[in-house]
A and B are shown apart, each in its own frame.
Chain A
């Protein structure tokens, strides 16, 4: 079955540590995205990638880094520079970044908690 998979589902991190969240899709989608959800707020875009080996900052990129070495994979690293990393992180993909009328497909999310 085609889909988008995030792992792990729950992640605990000590302050000062970097941590990487995994996102894999087998939908053959060109575009991939990372969003963050906080209580009472909508999904906010962290980074997005239009195509392999390319990515751009979203609205709240500070303290995060990404890579897009393979079409299927778009890992997100939450660095120690991110001041408030505890949140629910969602990865998404869509057929094409520049094609109109494209819906995004989301993974199940990763709940990151800093302890």
Chain B
């Protein structure tokens, strides 16, 4: 049973427009949410994060929104640039157990391939 889903395998956007990548999760115990960017044959690199106490975090062209009631996370990139073309993964964690201990392992979505056309 997948706890984290990125329902769009791919997204194509024109340069200068907004890219919106979405991520849905089922477990409300997650309390930290991250986005990673990955180029082919390379490891993912951290992009931006948000904790469960916030609903928005902005860093330059990148903004992450969190809707806890809907268990929905999104990443907005504006304006999109050709260099943004990559696979984007949402990752959730740590997960707080019933005993109050945080577990550091991240749970990843399937990824969305973003292509930004010049």
Contacts and interface: CB of A to CB of B under 8 A. Distances in A.
A34 to B, nearest CB: 11
B96 to A, nearest CB: 8
B104 A42 contact: no
Contacts of A4: 43
B46 to A, nearest CB: 5
B94 A90 contact: no
Given A90-B44, A100-B94, A103-B46, A41 B104 contact: no
Contact of A100 (B31, B41, B109, B111): B31
Interface residues of B, number: 29
Contacts of B89: 42-43
B106 interface: yes
Given A58-B105, A100-B94, A109 B49 contact: no
Contacts of B108: 35, 42-44
A109 B104 contact: no
Contact of A90 (B43, B46, B51, B105): B43
B41 A109 contact: yes
A108 B104 contact: no
Contacts of B45: 106
A99 B110 contact: no
B101 interface: yes
B46 A105 contact: yes
Contacts of B111: 42
B43 A45 contact: no
B114 interface: no
A33 B108 CA distance: 13
A31 interface: yes
Interface string A21-63: 0000000000101010000111111001010000000100000
A82 interface: no
Question: Which of A33, A35, A42, A108 has most chain B Cβ within 10 Å?
Answer: A42
Interface of B: 4, 6, 9, 31-32, 34, 36, 41-46, 49, 51, 89, 91, 94, 101-111
Given A98-B102, A98-B104, A100-B31, 7 more contacts: A42-B109, A43-B106, A48-B104, A94-B104, A101-B32, A104-B106, A109-B42
